[in-house]
Structure 1
């Protein structure tokens, strides 16, 4: 891409003006006649703008939602920095509307803008409107070219109930469950064709085709007509009764599995809930949450909710599919198992080339079990790609979509097809390109690297495009989603980005233009993260000739990335820790969708105990224990040692990464921790790991201090010379050599001085052992990879109460008075389950710990806030649904049933000193 922060992305984009070719066959695929209106936001909007520019499409326009710029100051879309013509920017109140009527009004508004301003195409990116059948059909009927799958494909593949039926007909493996709850609900009331016919006559549904002997098919037709007419012919309570029966039936048939409820129009984590075993009574509550979240609770909305078996130990994998309605093909897979609450975090490519090479490599190393697993993954990938092509053909796919599966060991089940480009589409396009060749003359061809470009080509010239060849670009790629979240990965809206380091070599960074500097001053422009939409800030990608290489490059990218701001909280450090967790176990591990929460819980345990360590107290204890070491020596090294230690203790995710990177640098003997490597080497690596070894930085807090750098460089050089002169390889051998008599050719006085230098260089370094001692105490290394590449998760990390407690250790709730309940995050306040439902709490309400008190909608997700203790609501401080609240804002005045323990500063300090003393005893 052309902007400064994309300069290192030479693998992806270049001049794509096919009309400028001197080859007539290529020239016919020119797309400059396309005049698209971009109706999405975020990184995909900026990517589309760049791709359109490169294709010579320079007359596109964008929608700008008021929520991008009004709800939060300085949240105006950064893309506007590159659009110099204000006539190409069109304001709307929202992108998709809050309910069916609002959505329909927005669709008509968009159509009117397109007609008035001369646009002939619509690009909806990966927003939810991109797979809204009504929206796509409306655009088509208005004569606009929709850049994406047509309405027929969206209907047959995008709606989850239709897709499941299509998959069954196409012979694709599907998840067991119920996909026609609304039809079953209707048939309870009108069980025969005659009754349904009478219903149509009574409600004025005259367009229903009654010519069928299949009563379920007839029920579906009646339901479709009712949605078009905007009327309800069943109630939510009646639907809930059907869904509750289905859940109970699934519980009886599969007693060891939970049940997943899934709205047909959900996606990206929205509109899904898990019904725990034995909790079918909560079905109604969960269904209302789902329908409210996907804005399908209004009159005339399609409220169908799928009931599916929840495969408890699954990997989430998906296949990139592309077609023109005639041919259909795939571009490999992506593993999206590293997710939380259905929100993907780290996405990994899955390609035949990489899996086969990895299998050969581990087989040659004698790891036969791991090799067998990787070869089985190749078989699973091949099967999913074949099924994805078959399914795409069955629905007449004429653009780009994603075939999503859940994989249980070596079995897989089709989950859904997303009839839009995915957030993680770059993972696939970085692995494979598309080569289109003239069927009559293969020498005439062109290559497409961008899936957005492919979508435009298909929209403009679909039937004329021959089936392309899949061309390998890289064996592997990796994508980290940079989100606005706290350390517990809970949404954190409203923070302001004040600095973001430039991209480095090998980094592929997709954001929405936040990193575009002021064109006049080249200064980074501050940007406030609005909470009206999703939490994603940017997508960071890396590529490699193996999965290991792509992980290593991602680790380096994250190491040197700095992101600072006011009240800013992101998952940058989480990614740094997670990438190192896999790097130092195996990047071929098979994590399931259950992995991230236990991993966070393990990091939370580190956070909880790290807060109990007092480094000043530890330094004091060490000094007392080593009184033979001159005080001047220790004092000179104090900041050299304590600064990086404090930084690691202050950031549990970075500490997790450090412990993973250094897990072989220490030995454990009972309760004693010792060094397995030279602690000077560990300290040098630690400064590099923390990106503190660059002395060229302006901020002293971001670099090693000069006097500390001098001490560390001197020590490093000393041991390099010692290793060479003493001819040793390991730390144990080096320690043995220093404890022995002077080697030949070295006089006694010189040797005594050398031994003294060794002691001085090592002084204070045993405090580094506090970190592995902390890991040993919390059992951090218990979470590990099995020989079959599955992940062993200790039982304690699966306990719900412990998980919740450790989430609070990672992200402590805002400080509140004992008589207040405060907002844990900013967002949109709702005091009830759904419109028309009673308030959760009002003045006089008695609540128990765990009772729901209110809902905060932040970053597109509805987050229910539960009471942290028992008490009574005295006063409601925020009234009215849809009110913007801020983190830490008091919501209720309350009287708690019990007053919490309040510790003095002295008591807190004494407890920390006692905890530190226990860890100091573990240092050998």
Structure 2
């Protein structure tokens, strides 16, 4: 890194100021973008980032599009960016960003173009959502004479549609996932089985198909059908029904199940993104080596319903919409890697990779950089440590990364990439498969920005250049100066970076809309927080302004980023950020604790581990098991029982010396009473939050062992207690409320004990990790280290006093032992072993309810599991899930809740009869968590839990645990 800093310092001609128009170099000034006038038609962190970058570039005339869904449907959810952009003439309102149907989408496109014309904008930036990958939108923008800040329409068509991208990839020798990319063409051929029949269809519907195509007898029927379908899309008509498409998908999935036994199949819309429009079927066949025709048919029978869900979710179910669906083999042990691309149509450069495998519901959660420099440094460290398995795994990753970068550049050139895009792959050990291209900037683009900057050099003078550190800036440069921009050189900034998506989700990672943010701690020094302006305070009062988390769009609240010299460095920085982040509000749930636990799980195991896309759900299941077991422990009761244990031991030891008994009992009672809150407060914090507990256990797994059923400490438990307070962000800070930090008298006692052991270590010339040796010395009756007998006795007495009671902390290790927590582990080759029981769907569903118990309800009603938009049917025109008087079975779908871009089908938790539907207004109504939806009569009456019996069982379990530490 020092060399990189010197690079900037020792180059006086370098220009890093984004206002290129103010550069001393005429060549650099020629790339000024100050005359660009963009309209920003996206939302969230990317909108605020674009506003900031444009202002830094000297772009003064820009505007933003504001959806009424944010600010009207959800009161107090008004875009926080308006706190910065106070000029109302540059804020333009639309009902929503992209429209709910094809007709509305066309209307919205025309509306956006008109807004641009009326307000003197000459460019449109769509960020990473809504219309960012809509080739029709981009073509309309270009036809209107406006610039699109992103890939052009031709690139969008060739790379943005997943089926076209896959065909292009095959044509330029890029590895692709096995599957079918033309099921719509096959559907049409199934209906019109000959070339003559297809040509007759063209004539009957007066479709405009290139005459050369119609005369080309070398074209396959499916290739001809594809061209006919494109003409039908242009005319806005359907050539087959959704039912016919569903039937064809079912046939194709049956064939794939036969060809790829013990596999699942992924159905994927050709449009969409961010996890939308994807479903997986075939879980029942995963464990069947030779499935029968009946088993295959049963698995494929799920396909029609899933296809309808997909088309509904990506709004491609209208007349004339392209309804193609990819049918792909679901590679089970996969990592999700992506390569950042940038091009101008004539050159294309790869900017390293990102590992996005840590995801759920097809939504990315934690993303980390994957660069050649970072992997090379990790390999060197692994070699120095002699970790052969890790060396081989990292070297394999380096080879795969180089292949992906090379293929991505080849693909980018093939589609004429002229802006930023992402080449996405699935990686299976030493193999990779091209998945899709996102023809837009990604949510996680800053992960790449922190690793690389771009150096644009004057072809006529190598000393004349400028540096770009923002991809948003690079996109603006390309939109304004496309062909003139020379191919840049990538310059290393940091070897590693990481991004955690702070989402509005509960402890089980289910979306949780509608909460109110009332407080958010300030960012730490070095923290990068993209929060779309939520943290901007009131300029008059300096106070935090509350913000309602809307549910109309995605669940993201902020992006938290860190960088480092290596992945461990970036992870430790991220852990620090997460630890010190405090976000509070009303009915507010976030995944902050999940991230904190997960990041520390990797720090405690191995940050170079290779999680697959299937990791998070089993991990969550394990966390749920932790919570279930941890809830059986009562730290206060354990502490009181420990006091009794000490009293009993003293009474038995000095049974023949009553006066000694009384003195010793008084002494130990005073010692333990002083430690009551010191011990129990952090224990309660750990036991009440299983995500935080997971991270703590991972960090401390090498600090103890179990011998003959007893916990044996391998490090000083007082030091671990101090570290635990730090881990919980409870270290003493006088300015903080006492409820949030260690109490002052506990802090004084802890500090005194730590100083005592520091002094002893210095006396015996021991290191910090030599606790075992120090403890052995202190067990000796004979004075050690030249200490006189009286002082030695005082030292041993002090040691006993400081250690007394700390064994209670060992109870938490027993929770991990009893839940087989460490069975989820990282092997020498960096692969993660997931115990089979954690993949059990029934256990996963039960642990989800343990992590987030269903909302309180009466015995005669069913309430909404979360806030969002209610739908009582699969899609318009489909039958209602339930009607008054209908009997429903356990596991039967009752309704759909659309929350934060995802459609969640909710199933009956028990069987019963619908007496009344309580939702007024039908589909599309906003509901809140816990709101009654149906009056019902259950088949079986519920029995309330006896709280006294639960407490009795909890104490009995705690007493059982104590046997291993006392």
TM over 0.5: yes
Distance (Å, rounded) in 2 between the aligned partners of 1:759 and 1:370: 43
Aligned to 2:342: 322
Distance (Å, rounded) in 2 between the aligned partners of 1:856 and 1:752: 68
Q: RMSD across aligned C-alpha pairs, in angstroms?
A: 1.4
Is the Cα contact below 8 Å between 2:458 and 2:464 reproduced in 1?
yes
Once the two structures are superposed, what CA deviation does each residue of 1:314-351 show, in whole Å capped at 9, x if it has no partner?
01000001110001110001111111121111111111
Map 1:650-799 → 2, pairs under 5 A = 650-729=688-767, 730-741=770-781, 742-743=783-784, 745-799=786-840
Query: Which of 146, 152, 167 is the aligned partner of 2:169?
Result: 167
Aligned to 2:29: 27
Query: Which of 787, 800, 803 is the aligned partner of 2:841?
Result: 800
Distance (Å, rounded) in 2 between the aligned partners of 1:839 and 1:465: 56
Aligned to 2:662: none
Note closer, same or farther for the CA distance 1:418–1:681 as it changes in structure 2 (3 Å cut).
Answer: same
Is the Cα contact below 8 Å between 1:14 and 1:54 reproduced in 2?
no
Counterpart of 2:403 in 1: which secondary structure? helix
The answer to whether 1:291 aligns with 2:315 is no
Counterpart of 1:768 in 2: which secondary structure? helix
Counterpart of 1:69 in 2: which secondary structure? helix
Note closer, same or farther for the CA distance 1:915–1:737 as it changes in structure 2 (3 Å cut).
Answer: same
Counterpart of 2:705 in 1: which secondary structure? strand
Map 1:442-521 → 2, pairs under 5 A = 442-521=462-541
Counterpart of 1:491 in 2: which secondary structure? coil
Aligned to 1:870: 911
Name structure 1 gaps, 5 residues minimum: 1-12
Map 1:771-850 → 2, pairs under 5 A = 771-850=812-891
Aligned to 1:884: 926
Counterpart of 2:258 in 1: which secondary structure? helix
How far apart are 1:208 and its partner, in Å?
5.1
Map 1:300-449 → 2, pairs under 5 A = 300-449=320-469
Counterpart of 1:645 in 2: which secondary structure? helix
Is the Cα contact below 8 Å between 1:697 and 1:703 reproduced in 2?
no
Once the two structures are superposed, what CA deviation does each residue of 1:245-288 show, in whole Å capped at 9, x if it has no partner?
11111100000211000000021111000012341111011111
Aligned to 2:7: none
Distance (Å, rounded) in 2 between the aligned partners of 1:464 and 1:211: 41
Aligned to 1:237: 243
Note closer, same or farther for the CA distance 1:444–1:309 as it changes in structure 2 (3 Å cut).
Answer: same
Once the two structures are superposed, what CA deviation does each residue of 1:170-220 show, in whole Å capped at 9, x if it has no partner?
110000101001111111112233222222232232455434331323211
Distance (Å, rounded) in 2 between the aligned partners of 1:801 and 1:456: 50
Query: Which of 541, 544, 548 is the aligned partner of 2:561?
Result: 541
Counterpart of 2:69 in 1: which secondary structure? helix
Is the Cα contact below 8 Å between 1:823 and 1:890 reproduced in 2?
yes
Once the two structures are superposed, what CA deviation does each residue of 1:593-613 show, in whole Å capped at 9, x if it has no partner?
111111111111111111121
Is the Cα contact below 8 Å between 1:680 and 1:715 reproduced in 2?
yes
Once the two structures are superposed, what CA deviation does each residue of 1:505-536 show, in whole Å capped at 9, x if it has no partner?
22111110011111122211111100001001
The answer to whether 1:271 aligns with 2:277 is yes
How far apart are 1:744 and its partner, in Å?
5.5
Note closer, same or farther for the CA distance 1:562–1:14 as it changes in structure 2 (3 Å cut).
Answer: farther
Query: Which of 31, 40, 43 is the aligned partner of 1:41?
Result: 43
Counterpart of 1:70 in 2: which secondary structure? helix
Map 1:113-124 → 2, pairs under 5 A = 113-124=115-126
Once the two structures are superposed, what CA deviation does each residue of 1:679-715 show, in whole Å capped at 9, x if it has no partner?
1101100111111114133322221111111111111
Counterpart of 2:73 in 1: which secondary structure? coil
Is the Cα contact below 8 Å between 1:200 and 1:208 reproduced in 2?
no
Is the Cα contact below 8 Å between 1:314 and 1:408 reproduced in 2?
yes
Aligned to 1:80: 82
The answer to which of 305-314 and 754-763 deviates more is 754-763
Aligned to 2:943: 901
Query: Which of 887, 892, 901 is the aligned partner of 1:851?
Result: 892
The answer to which of 178-187 and 667-676 deviates more is 667-676
Map 1:633-652 → 2, pairs under 5 A = 633-652=671-690
How far apart are 1:360 and its partner, in Å?
1.7
Note closer, same or farther for the CA distance 1:413–1:744 as it changes in structure 2 (3 Å cut).
Answer: closer
Distance (Å, rounded) in 1 between the aligned partners of 2:812 and 2:177: 45
Distance (Å, rounded) in 2 between the aligned partners of 1:181 and 1:29: 46
Note closer, same or farther for the CA distance 1:271–1:670 as it changes in structure 2 (3 Å cut).
Answer: farther
Once the two structures are superposed, what CA deviation does each residue of 1:63-112 show, in whole Å capped at 9, x if it has no partner?
01111111222111000000121100001110111111111111111111
Distance (Å, rounded) in 2 between the aligned partners of 1:748 and 1:339: 61
Distance (Å, rounded) in 2 between the aligned partners of 1:828 and 1:670: 56
Distance (Å, rounded) in 2 between the aligned partners of 1:671 and 1:793: 26
How far apart are 1:918 and its partner, in Å?
2.1
Is the Cα contact below 8 Å between 2:517 and 2:584 reproduced in 1?
yes
Flag as ranges the 4+ runs of structure 1 deviating above 4 A: none
Distance (Å, rounded) in 2 between the aligned partners of 1:903 and 1:379: 57
- State how many pairs are aligned: 912
Once the two structures are superposed, what CA deviation does each residue of 1:443-476 show, in whole Å capped at 9, x if it has no partner?
1111111000000010100011111111111111
Name structure 2 gaps, 5 residues minimum: 1-14, 286-295, 651-664
Is the Cα contact below 8 Å between 2:706 and 2:712 reproduced in 1?
yes
Counterpart of 1:677 in 2: which secondary structure? coil
The answer to whether 1:60 aligns with 2:77 is no
Normalising to structure 2: TM-score of the pair?
0.93
Counterpart of 1:821 in 2: which secondary structure? strand
Distance (Å, rounded) in 2 between the aligned partners of 1:282 and 1:815: 33
Distance (Å, rounded) in 2 between the aligned partners of 1:207 and 1:145: 29
Once the two structures are superposed, what CA deviation does each residue of 1:646-679 show, in whole Å capped at 9, x if it has no partner?
1111111111111111111111125322211111
Aligned to 1:8: none
Counterpart of 1:875 in 2: which secondary structure? strand
Counterpart of 1:902 in 2: which secondary structure? coil
Distance (Å, rounded) in 1 between the aligned partners of 2:908 and 2:919: 16
Normalising to structure 1: TM-score of the pair?
0.97
Is the Cα contact below 8 Å between 2:917 and 2:934 reproduced in 1?
yes
Note closer, same or farther for the CA distance 1:796–1:671 as it changes in structure 2 (3 Å cut).
Answer: farther
Aligned to 1:571: 591
The answer to which of 245-254 and 669-678 deviates more is 669-678
